[in-house]
Amino acid sequence: HKELAKLAVYILRKFTEVAATNKTVFVELLFPKHVKDACEIVDGYGSYQDSKNKRIAWEEHEEEELRRLDEEYSRTNVKENKVDWILDNIINKDRSRTGVIKKMKELGLEVPQSKPKGLWEEAEEEELKKLHEEADKDLPDKLLVSWIHE
């Protein structure tokens, strides 16, 4: 009960703070809001920036760095995925994997094809075959035991 009263006092205090700077908050109170709307009411209209939609433009020196990293990857015998290696070595760590791949395609650089989902590597296939063979050896015994216990 006391905690609920404290919450109500806190909400009213914050509401009056916003009402001092934004006179339309009383009308806004009548309609349901999303996070974006709530941020704009408190911080001012047009101030909300969605980080998902915010694109970081590539500057010329960053494009040159991407070309240089692509060449460096080709010269060295790195076993790591090309895009992962570039992401590890790029200066601007805010770049996403998708953004780097898109820019590489735009610059005409070779982008490695991603492994189709669901395909197994050789080592995984061999391990699966080995496990299957082991299970096949035990299967007749297990069937016999289950048949006897019925």
pLDDT digits (tens, 9 = 90+) for 43-94: 777 666 655 555 678 889 999 999 999 999 888 877 888 888 999 999 988 8
pTM of the shown model: 0.44
Residue 52: per-residue pLDDT: 54
Tokens of 125: 């296939």
Q: Is the model more confident about 57 or about 145?
A: 57
Residue 24: per-residue pLDDT: 84
